Structure 1
């Protein structure tokens, strides 16, 4: 359970940094009233939606489209991840808060940047997570 919460926090931080870098094109819109707490809760909920969509729908797509992944040497994953980010933006817009993406290619760039930032944060936090799991 702790690893799941840590993954959620890493994704929320990566999402926030992605929206800072791609500010006018990929944004997080908090729910009303728009304060700091609402923004943080919105980031966490959007990261949770992203994790569920990426885990369930992304997993199904990766299994079904495995031959295409092999054929394109994995480059199709950029397109799939961009579409999954657009799906997260659509789901969160139905809920009245969350992610907004200005177009398909901004979604692809946002997904690429989100993945790289999440990976880097995961590498930076790895010494802390490994040491806590050895104590048990």
Structure 2
């Protein structure tokens, strides 16, 4: 199941790169690595960022979580060779679309 979710996240990342011109994924292998790195960053770094920025998140009624998602997405694009994000706004839009597409694909997997 975990392997299938990883594949679906890589496919979601390819869909995001296909839809948005500011995000580039060079190959399916790069998408697999990027999906793995995004998963690790979301599991390790993101909770720390959420905890450190909790007052700002409360003041903005949770909207700052979108900024944290974008920063994690952008950071993954900056450390990986086959995955490129051209700027913060592309990262914000890409993270939102990636989240929607990967959730939709995961729900299709669960329903079948």
Q: Which has the larger radius of gyration?
A: 1
Q: Distance in 1 between matches of 2:9 and 2:65?
A: 18
Q: Are residues 1:106 and 2:90 paired?
A: yes
Indicate the residue corresponding to 1:84 in structure 2. Answer: 72
TM-score normalised per structure 2: 0.90
Alignment correspondent of 2:110: 126
SS at match of 1:108: helix
**1:57-68 maps to which residues of 2 (within 5 A)?**
57-68=45-56
3-state DSSP class of the match of 1:100?
strand
Distance in 2 (alpha carbons) for counterparts of 1:77 and 1:10: 23
Deviating beyond 4 angstroms after TM superposition, the runs of 4 or more aligned structure 1 residues are none
Match of 1:117 in 2: 101
Where structure 1 has 5 or more consecutive residues not aligned to the other structure, the ranges are 30-38, 129-136
- Number of aligned residue pairs: 112
1:27 aligns with 2:27: no
Q: Give the equivalent residue in structure 2 for 1:51.
A: 39
* Structure 2 runs not aligned, ≥5 long: none
Q: What is the SS of the residue equivalent to 1:51?
A: helix
Taking structure 1 as the reference length, the TM-score comes to 0.76
Cα distance in 1 between the residues matched to 2:68 and 2:9: 18
